[in-house]
Amino acid sequence: MTIDTFDGTGVKPAHWDLDAVVAALRVSREATHNIRHQRRIRELPSREALTTIVNGLFAVLFPTHYGRPNLTDESIDYFVGDTLNTTLNRLTEQVRRGLQFADGAEATEDALTRRAHEITRQFAASLPDIRALIVSDVQAAYAGDPAATSIAEIMLCYPGTIGILHYRLAHQLHKLGSPFIARMICDISHSLTGIDIHPAATIGASFFIDHGTGVVIGETAILGERVRLYQHVTLGAKRFPADASGMLIKGTPRHPIVEDDVVIYAGATILGRITIGAGSTIGGNVWLTQSVPPNSSVTQAQMTNDCKRD
């Protein structure tokens, strides 16, 4: 009688000619298709650690909503201080790892560590200002959504609020010189909410994303104050300029400017470095590639008629 040995997968062991496959993968990895940054092995930032860090920052900013609901006036400052200390230590390590992948990063480990500490220190000092912005966003959601029954509901149940929270933290890290970590935080938010905001985008106070799924805001977009977006809105680029060799030129302004008090309804696509004037309303499913003056009202029917006239 033969006894088959299994490896726990339910598959009978077989021979795969692994030596040849492993050798070919090494050649690809080390020579023909090497994609390592500056061809060096480096410790990557941890998505799992960043998720823990973001949750800690949420708890620091809003202790009873995202921390512990049973905190008292006597215990809340101790909780905030302890959580903040632990979270900032973790953040410093992730910032250090991210700095290794900055363009032209040739600094020593000591220099990277010092820079990571400085970025984290400045980030910590900015948390009260970040909280003030987030409070303005939450208040805008409460004022702008008749279905909202409480601030707690908005903070715990609204994907738009969760997406904005992530963005506000990531944007500050981006400004301070930690773009890799900032981008990872926004990607964590994208996975959770379906909202994709580049951390370099500039967004003013009292920002409200209703429903939120499918919203995309590009790197160089600029949004004023009291802007409201609905689901599946895209603030994207119309074209990507290239240099003489055909390589895309990075960092050029290519996304819309949305001025104060603009409302953009579901499914609207706004492309290119155009300006949506203050107080304007952009209707659902509009495809817009030209600027509109302040207090405009643009609907799909108007766009269709304009195309027919052209």
| Per-residue pLDDT, 244 | 81
Task: Give the pair of three-digit tokens for residue 286.
Answer: 């509009």
Which residues contact residue 13 at a Cβ distance below 8 angstroms, ignoring those fewer than 6 apart? 5, 6, 7
Burial class (CB in 10 A: 0-12, 13-18, 19+), 5: exposed
Which pLDDT score is estimated for 207?
A: 98
CA–CA gap between residue 232 and residue 227 (Å, rounded):
15
Mapped onto helix, strand or coil, the DSSP state of residue 275 is strand
Report the pLDDT value the prediction gives residue 35, as an integer from 0 to 100. Answer: 73
Strand partners, 235: 217, 270
In our burial notation (b when 16+ CB lie closer than 10 A, e otherwise), range 94-129 reads: bbbbbbbebeeeeeeeeebbebbeebbeebbebbee
- DSSP one-letter string for 23-44: HHHHHIIIIIT--SGGG---PP
Instruction: List strand residue ranges (DSSP E) for the chain, in order.
Output: 196-197, 202-203, 208-209, 216-217, 222-223, 228-229, 234-236, 257-258, 263-264, 269-271, 275-276, 281-282, 287-288, 297-298
CB neighbourhood size of 258 (10 A): 27
* pLDDT tens over the chain, length 310 residues: 455 555 566 666 667 888 888 899 888 888 888 776 555 557 899 999 999 999 999 999 999 999 998 999 999 999 999 999 999 999 999 999 999 988 655 678 899 999 999 999 999 999 999 999 999 999 999 999 999 999 999 999 999 999 999 999 999 999 999 999 999 999 999 999 999 999 999 999 999 999 999 999 999 999 999 999 999 999 999 988 788 888 878 879 999 999 999 999 999 999 999 999 999 999 999 999 999 999 999 998 776 565 455 5
CB 67 within 8 A of CB 55: no
Residue 108: both structure tokens together:
């020593």
Domains in the chain, please, with CATH? 44-194 (1.10.3130.10), 214-310 (2.160.10.10)
Q: pTM of this prediction? A: 0.87
pLDDT of 306 reads 59
Phi, psi of 197 (to 5 degrees): -115, 125
- Please give the Cα distance from 64 to 71 (Å, whole number): 7
Helix, strand or coil for residue 103? coil
Give the pLDDT confidence score for residue 168 in this predicted structure.
Answer: 98
Interacting residues of 223 by C-beta distance below 8 A, sequence separation 6+: 201, 202, 203, 204, 207, 217, 235, 258
